[in-house]
Chain A
Amino acid sequence: MQTVFAKPDSLATISTHYCPGCMHGIIHRLVAEILDELGVRERTVGIAPVGCAVLAYNYFNCDMIEAAHGRATAVATGVKRGRPDLCVFTYQGDGDLASIGMGETIHIANRGEKVTVIFVNNAIYGMTGGQMAPTTLPGQVATTCPLGREVETAGWPIRMAELLSSLRTPGYIARVAVHTPLHAARAKQALRKAFTYQVEGRCFSLIEFLSTCPTNWGMTPIEANRWLEQNMMPYYPLGEYKTPE
């Protein structure tokens, strides 16, 4: 009998702590599938953030480092500069990467470190209970903007893929979604490119995943997918923003 579907080697055997409908599981799996397909699991070091994915080190079956909030890309720089032969990725949410870690994010991209950043944008702080993120949409309700984000005082949500693409340093930067099988398949193609560019020593890569947070958005998973499509995708258009060619 032929096996057509199995757990990737790069995923550990452990039950999930993520909420029902959360997309971290899908994104973890896609990353793990790419590590398997490129055959780099045994020379990969992943960096977990602070946020919902803080426990990512339990899910990936490769060496993992837990970083301080926002510093995953600084930690990744240390690993990669010390051991350029390793495949290094960070896995970060919007608060980690675009708020407290904004300085580290811009500078790792600008230095063009040969690492891959997995950026999960769900427009809210999940683990701390639904506070406003730098990517929370105008009018979107969060516990620290109970009347909805007011752009006059909180500013407009930050489009990280666009922002980083403005840097002169070469890189591969794309924004993807995983709320339908078709989108997940396209996301995987982008991920493969990102890791391939790293392994070939070509450039920095960052994949921004649009993701849902049914728990803190106060929606069912299906409602959340619809909300993502109707509200996030118009503000955060999908696509490749920068390629090294």
Chain B
Amino acid sequence: MAKKLMKGCEAIAEAAIQAGCKLFFGYPITPQNEIPEYMAARLPQVGGTFVQAESELAASNMIYGAAAAGCRCMTSSSSPGISLMQEAISYMVGSELPAVIVNIMRPGPGLGGILPSQADYRQAVKGGGHGDYRVLVLCPASVQEAADLMADAFDLADTYRNPVMVLGDGLIGQMMEPVEFKQRPPAVLPPKDWAANGCKGRKPNIINSLYLVPEVCEQVNHRISARYKIWEEKERRCSGYNLDSKYDLLLVANGTVARVCQTAIDELKAEGHEVALFRPISLYPFPVPELRKAAARAKNVLVVELNMGQMRDDVDAFLQGKVPIHFYGRQGGMMAAPEEVIEAAKKILAGRSN
């Protein structure tokens, strides 16, 4: 298929449809409105259904219902809306339901703003709602990668019976880039014989997350948590830049910030500095062994984010004090410019930064 110039939100929506998602439930919020708008126009053309819910609470519980009935479904929102969806996300994990949630992040706290941010990193990778749980978090750095990850997200959700979140900073949703929707063979997925979709020819299925017997509830927690160990072994994804050459400083960044870092690295190299980039694509499971390997070759690590250092805290814990870790961040919808990253990197390279 030929490449098309598309806005990130629209590419995400189209990729979902091509991945067989015929059901979308959502509620308007900037900067992701192009996803529900695209779905509202496109889904009826392919025999699908779009529902504008009365709230994010309702939208997310609608996907709980559609997923419970065995249907491939998704919702999308932005940060304040995702906070409201945490109830249903927790219930979906507890009831072991597959669904895809897209968060095109804007800054907070509170109403914050509508420009790009990565301020929901911690909420996304640590669970986000009540209870002991995780969702698998995929973080694209380009419109093409966003489209590719959508197809993966649905398959991963179905494979593990767990919600998957595609986490994009606002830029991913709003920028236009060429994108190609690659035809791929359908994945071999487990049958949805657990779904509540009519009990003809079998015993009734119950979709539930209530376990009043503590021994049973504990077992359920163990069963659900066991899949996170599998993710940490099998579903780590990362990328990098300049990692094959020698470097003194390792930048760690995700999403579009990683591309800003790439530009900064090119300029730093031109000036004779040795700098590389490590980019996690799966934010949970975080590619910890790959990060450790990349960091072991550096004298310093600089984490660059559009928040107050949420991933920095994780990197700090993963590297266990073996390499000095520095941070540069912008907040409130401000982007980190390549010049700012270069300046922060040069301070470290000159031994002037702590």
Interface size on B, residues (CB 8 A): 39
Alpha-carbon distance A188/B95, docked complex (angstroms): 33
Alpha-carbon distance A27/B199, docked complex (angstroms): 22
Alpha-carbon distance A76/B54, docked complex (angstroms): 14
B194-225 contact mask (Cβ, 8 Å, vs A): 1 or 0: 00111111001111111000000000000000
Would you call B198 and A79 a contact (CB within 8 A)?
no
* Residues on A with beta carbons closer than 8 Å to the beta carbon of B59: 74
Would you call A43 and B58 a contact (CB within 8 A)?
no
**A62-B199, A63-B205 known; A75-B68 Cβ under 8 A:** yes
From the candidates B65, B70, B210, name the one contacting A75 in the complex (CB within 8 A): B65
Query: Which stretch from A80-88, A142-150, A171-179 is at the chain B interface?
Result: A80-88
Closest chain A CB from B6 CB (angstroms): 27
Alpha-carbon distance A68/B55, docked complex (angstroms): 15
Would you call A81 and B200 a contact (CB within 8 A)?
no
From the candidates B55, B70, B198, name the one contacting A42 in the complex (CB within 8 A): B198
Q: Let me know if A240 is at the binding interface, CB within 8 A.
A: no
Would you call B55 and A71 a contact (CB within 8 A)?
no
Tell me if A's interface is mostly helix, strand, loop or mixed: helix
From the candidates A57, A63, A65, name the one contacting B198 in the complex (CB within 8 A): A63
Would you call A63 and B61 a contact (CB within 8 A)?
no
Q: Let me know if A129 is at the binding interface, CB within 8 A.
A: no
* Residues on A with beta carbons closer than 8 Å to the beta carbon of B64: 67-68, 71, 74-75, 78
Would you call B23 and A45 a contact (CB within 8 A)?
no
Q: Let me know if A47 is at the binding interface, CB within 8 A.
A: yes
Interface size on A, residues (CB 8 A): 35
Alpha-carbon distance A160/B209, docked complex (angstroms): 29
Q: Let me know if B281 is at the binding interface, CB within 8 A.
A: no
Q: Let me know if A66 is at the binding interface, CB within 8 A.
A: yes
From the candidates A57, A60, A86, name the one contacting B208 in the complex (CB within 8 A): A57
**A54-B210, A66-B206, A79-B68 known; A74-B61 Cβ under 8 A:** yes
Interface hits, A48-64 → B, CB 8 Å? 54-55, 57, 60-64
**What residue of chain B has the Cβ atom nearest to residue A75's Cβ?**
B65
**A74-B61, A74-B62, A78-B62 known; A86-B198 Cβ under 8 A:** yes
Q: Let me know if B87 is at the binding interface, CB within 8 A.
A: yes
Closest chain B CB from A45 CB (angstroms): 5
Q: Let me know if A44 is at the binding interface, CB within 8 A.
A: yes
**A63-B198, A78-B25 known; A68-B69 Cβ under 8 A:** no
Would you call A79 and B206 a contact (CB within 8 A)?
no
Q: Let me know if B66 is at the binding interface, CB within 8 A.
A: yes
Would you call B205 and A107 a contact (CB within 8 A)?
no
Would you call B199 and A81 a contact (CB within 8 A)?
no
Q: Let me know if A104 is at the binding interface, CB within 8 A.
A: yes
Would you call A71 and B68 a contact (CB within 8 A)?
no
**What residue of chain A has the Cβ atom nearest to residue B54's Cβ?**
A107
Would you call B71 and A82 a contact (CB within 8 A)?
yes
Given pairs A42-B200, A63-B198, A65-B207, 5 additional interface contacts (CB within 8 A):
A68-B91, A71-B58, A86-B69, A103-B54, A104-B58
Listed in ascending order, the chain B residues whose CB lies under 8 Å from chain A are: 23, 25, 49, 51, 53-55, 57-59, 61-71, 73, 87-88, 91, 95, 196-201, 204-210
The 9 closest A-B pairs by CB, nearest first: A78-B65, A82-B71, A75-B65, A74-B61, A78-B66, A63-B196, A78-B62, A71-B61, A42-B200
